[in-house]
Amino acid sequence: MIMLLNSGVIAECVRVLSDSGSICWQVGNYVDDGAIIPLDSLLYPVFADLGLKMRNRIVWHFEHGLHCSRRLSGRYETILWFTKGDDYIFELDAIRVPQKYPGKIFQRAESGTIFVQPAWQEPWRRMDNSQREKQSRGKDGASVPVSGGTDRAFSAGAFAGR
């Protein structure tokens, strides 16, 4: 039933999506008699059959929710990012955050090459505890992504560069 509902909504979203447009779809898991069904893996073919290309599968983590007793507690959801074509907008520089250890020097053992950590990194590579504590729930009780992580990721697809 949930797949049928999502398929119709997805098809309508794709119909009105511009040729250079992106769509992000956030889903979690469904538990059926103790077995976990990852909804993002079931929805991927729906998007692919409509001609969209997956650009990223973003996993965001939260630290609250019900505790499971017979398996590890699922404390994550996924965001699927698809584009309609190859002429989509992605501005990585607009969403970078300061590096946790800028200037740190590594030496690769196999080649002896010196590598210096860049000053900036992608936003989802680091989330400090203060951001995690700000996580909240929506009006429906569902977990809400930490402010700053996913909203910066979506900003990369905004019209900043055009």
Q: pLDDT value at position 65?
A: 79
Q: Give yes or no: residues 5 and 43 share one domain.
A: yes
- What digits encode the pLDDT tens for the residues 87-125? 998 888 888 777 777 777 766 767 777 666 666 666 654
- Per the structure, the complete domain to which residue 64 belongs is given by 1-88
Q: Give yes or no: residues 135 and 77 share one domain.
A: no
Q: Give yes or no: residues 7 and 30 share one domain.
A: yes
The Cβ of residue 136 has, within 10 Å, a number of other Cβ atoms equal to: 12
The whole-model pTM stands at: 0.67
Sheet holding 76-83, edge to edge: 22-27, 76-83, 53-61
DSSP string computed for 34-86: TEEEEHHHHHHHHHHHTT-EEEEEEEEE-S-SPPPSSS----EEEEEEEESSS
Q: pLDDT value at position 158?
A: 55
